[in-house]
Amino acid sequence: MAETVTWAQMTSLVPQIDLVSAMEAAFVAYSEGNAVIPPVGELQFSDPPGDVHLKYGYLRGGRHYVVKIASGFYDNPKLGLPSSNGLMLLFDQETGSPKAVLLDEGRLTDLRTAAAGAVAAKHLGPTEVAAVGIVGAGIQARLQLQALEAVTPCRSAWVWARRPEAAKEYVADLSPRGWEVRVASSTTQLLQNSNLVVTTTPSTEALVCGKDVRPGTHITAVGSDTESKRELDTELVGSADCVVGDSLAQCRTRGEIARAVAEGFDPERVQELGAVISGRAAGRESEEQITVVDLTGVAVQDLAIAEAIYDQLQG
């Protein structure tokens, strides 16, 4: 019988997992063709605004397959509720028997996304990070900055949010971790002062423009994971020296790269993150290059974190 595990039961297990290494291995396996990942299932809502993603898959020769449901309802904070929720189901790959029901409330998705941001920064970010720029001030904005602690000694950051009060709350929450966080009045000011930037919003209009990005900057785009969302303008994607996607297949249909392709960007310029990690594709080649990573979220990440939690439960 499947073991049902609540988020409260998982919280003590997460710190024991090396999520950055787990995501690196997952991306490499995906890019080497070892994963079976069907297209994303999706529901979109307009009133109230929200979306639900169904992601699932397995590794050839692996132990399990995963089915993950993750939602984002963006008016939830007005109700005192988190914007994200969901669960993961882990099954035995040989028999199809359910092994675990992970009632993670969407937290495992948040954590694996943040870890992927750290992976992107580790392999494509500048050697010397002057300051980190975070666009957005929600849960993912917080987790991205925390995840970067594993890959850079920099503890200086700028944050921009649509609501100034949200940015101030962000500063108050991250400062006790040793971060010196300043509030930017615009994304332009943020880009002028940061050379490692992470965008974390559900915006449907570009917030970060190519004309504002200084040489040597790395940008990880996290928020755009549907056809309608975007955070980067096409000028930025088109002028970047290196453009990387977590999944070439997914990035052709959703996210920043898909929006840029619809406006004339050549998809043949895109490298896959797992190939960059393994060295089969070129990443950043100089400190002056501008690099962009588009993270649309791939089911191998969900499989990796679900298996890691399950293994911890088994002792």
Residue 165: partners with Cβ closer than 8 Å, 6 or more residues away:
none
Q: Verify that 104 and 137 share a domain, yes or no.
A: no
One domain for residues 125 and 99:
no
Catalytic residue of the set 55, 68, 99, 229: 68
The CA-atom distances, in angstroms, between 271 and each of 160, 242, 277 are 29, 8, 11
What's the gap between Cα 244 and its chain centre?
A: 13
pLDDT value at position 175? Answer: 96
Residues 6+ apart with CB under 8 A from 131: 154, 156, 157, 158, 193, 194, 195, 196
Instruction: Assess whether 87 and 128 both reside in one domain.
Output: no
pLDDT value of position 74: 87
Q: Which two tokens stand for residue 150?
A: 């594993």
Same domain, 37 and 162: no
Domain that holds residue 22: 3-108+300-314
Q: Does the pLDDT at position 277 exceed 90? A: yes
Which pLDDT score is estimated for 225? 79
Are 35 and 89 in the same domain? Answer: yes
Q: How far apart are CA 198 and CA 145, in angstroms?
A: 9
CATH number at 227 reads 3.40.50.720
Interval 138-142 mean pLDDT: 95
User: In terms of domains, do 286 and 165 share one?
Assistant: yes
Report the CATH number that the domain containing residue 36 is assigned in CATH. Answer: 3.30.1780.10
Over the stretch 192-223, which tens digit does the pLDDT of each residue have? 999 999 999 989 899 999 999 999 999 999 98
Residues 61, 207 share a domain: no
Considering the domain architecture, whether residues 242 and 262 belong to the same structural domain is answered as: yes
Please count the structural domains in the chain: 2
Amino acid type, 294: D
Same structural domain, 125 and 256: yes
Whether 226 shows a pLDDT value over 80: the answer reads: no
Q: Are residues 94 and 202 in the same domain?
A: no
Average pLDDT over every residue of 99-103: 98
Q: Percent of the chain scored above 70 by pLDDT?
A: 100
Residue 275 dihedral angles phi and psi, to the nearest 5°: -70, -35
CA distance linking residue 213 with residue 132, whole number of Å: 13
pLDDT class of 10 with cuts at 50, 70, 90: very high
Same-domain pairing of 153 and 278: yes
Domain co-membership, 37 together with 128:
no
In tens, the pLDDT along 41-58 reads: 999 999 999 999 999 999
Catalytic, 68? Answer yes
For residue 1, is pLDDT > 80?
Answer: no
